[in-house]
Amino acid sequence: MGAYFKYLTAAVVWNLVASSAMAVAADTGLNATDREFINKAAQGGQMEVLAGKLAAQRGLDPAVKHFGQKMVTDHTVANMQLKKLADSKLVNLPDSISADERDALGKLETLNGNDFDKAYSQMMVEDHMADISDFEKELKKAQDADVKAFAEQTLPTLRHHLMLAKRLSAAEKKSR
């Protein structure tokens, strides 16, 4: 009986090692920079959707509600495109936002009325400025042509969102 368990344990360990080796062998060879970009873009996209849903529900200003819904719609499309890209590269995307994004969203959830609208619009300006910077850097550094194409394809939408967010933020500052 003891020999059987040793054999079974060895077989399980061997299967785990073999599975890990096959997963590495199946990897399409993305470099660390491209992988990090994909993961960060996935988390950022999820954050935009969550914050956008919150704005669509809790925004006081109809412009904030509309912008929030636009973020949900546009970033859901981009997230689906990124998921397709990640799947083709055998990259598992994170299923949650980063700790910093969770903290920022948590702060936003505590606000109401004009305070919410102002904070959300400012958050969208800052977030889109950071996203654009990350996407521009990826365009220069990307080793994988598909990852570079995703960054290039998504960048105009992010720039448009930044323009809209700046307008929204300016309007929210004036309304106070």
72-113 per-position pLDDT tens digit: 999 999 999 999 999 999 999 999 999 999 999 999 999 999
Q: How far apart are CA 42 and CA 96, in angstroms?
A: 9
| HSE toward the beta carbon, residue 80, CA cutoff 13 A | 5
C-beta atoms surrounding 7 within 10 Å: 10
Quick: pLDDT tens for 1-19: 555 445 544 444 455 444 4
Retrieve residue 63's tokens.
């412009």
Helix 32-58 and helix 62-88, axial crossing angle in degrees, nearest 10: 150
The answer for residues whose C-beta is within 8 angstroms of residue 125's C-beta and 6 or more apart is: 162, 165, 166, 169
Cα separation, 25 vs 9, in Å, equals: 24
**Separation CA 124–CA 169 (nearest Å):** 9
Q: Is the pTM of this model over 0.75?
A: yes
174 vs 141: CA distance, rounded Å = 40
Q: Could you tell me the two tokens for 45?
A: 């996209």
pLDDT band at 171 (very low <50, low <70, confident <90, very high): confident
In this structure, the dihedral spanned by the alpha carbons of residues 69, 87, 126 and 143, taken in order and rounded to 10 degrees, is -150
